[in-house]
Amino acid sequence: MSGDSTIDIDDTDRAIINGLQGGFGFGERPYRDAADGLGLSEDELIARIARLVDAKVLSRFGPMYNAERLGGAVTLSAMAVPDERYDEVAETVNAHHQVAHNYARAHDLNMWFVVASEEPDEIARTLNEIETETGLQVYDFPKQREFFIGLKVDA
């Protein structure tokens, strides 16, 4: 999980990662359509994507859903976790399926996690459960305005 990818990425892989972070189609044979644009065969594109997913260079390949447009809610929360309890608390937090991302960060507030749910009430419930289970205060940072979201990564 720490990102020690051990595979080598060549220029073709880079073209796939850079070129397909969106725009993958909904045709009958979308890999063939995408492969045409990259000058690859359908089979080679599928094999390379499988390898990149397998090596965790790609977290996944497919639709990225927007929880809020589904009527759900998302929030960012943080906790100040004592070092000696860090792994145990991380395990407790991560055990909640509503926790989508969790990052260790260097600050007094040293654990930052995103909680997403289809049911807005479930956010508060999950944060309460985490407080009860860990005995630590959860600071909630729901977004008030979104100025931009649109990550593109250059491999």
Partner 1 sequence: MNEQPTFRLDETDRGIIAATQNGLPLVARPYDEVARGLGLTGAEVRRRLAGMLDAGVIRRNGAVPNHYALGLSANGMSVWDVTDDVVDELGPKVGALDFVSHCYRRPRHLPIWPYNLFAMVHGRSRDEVTEKVEAIAELLGPAVRAHDVLYSTRLLKKTGLRIAA
* Residues in 94-113 at the binding interface with partner 1, rule: CB under 8 A: 94, 97-109, 111-113
Strands 139-141 and 111-117, by their bridges, are unpaired
Closest CA to 52 of 22, 1, 85, 16: 16
* Residues in 114-143 at the binding interface with partner 1, rule: CB under 8 A: 116, 118, 139-143
Comparison of 10 and 146: residue with beta carbon closer to partner 1: 146
CA 58/CA 78 separation, integer angstroms: 26
* Residues in 56-95 at the binding interface with partner 1, rule: CB under 8 A: 56-72, 76, 80, 90, 93-94
Comparison of 108 and 132: residue with beta carbon closer to partner 1: 108
* Residues in 2-61 at the binding interface with partner 1, rule: CB under 8 A: 2-3, 5, 16-17, 20-32, 42, 46, 49-50, 52-53, 55-61
Q: What secondary structure letter does DSSP report for 12?
A: H
Neighbours of 31 (CB within 10 A): 20
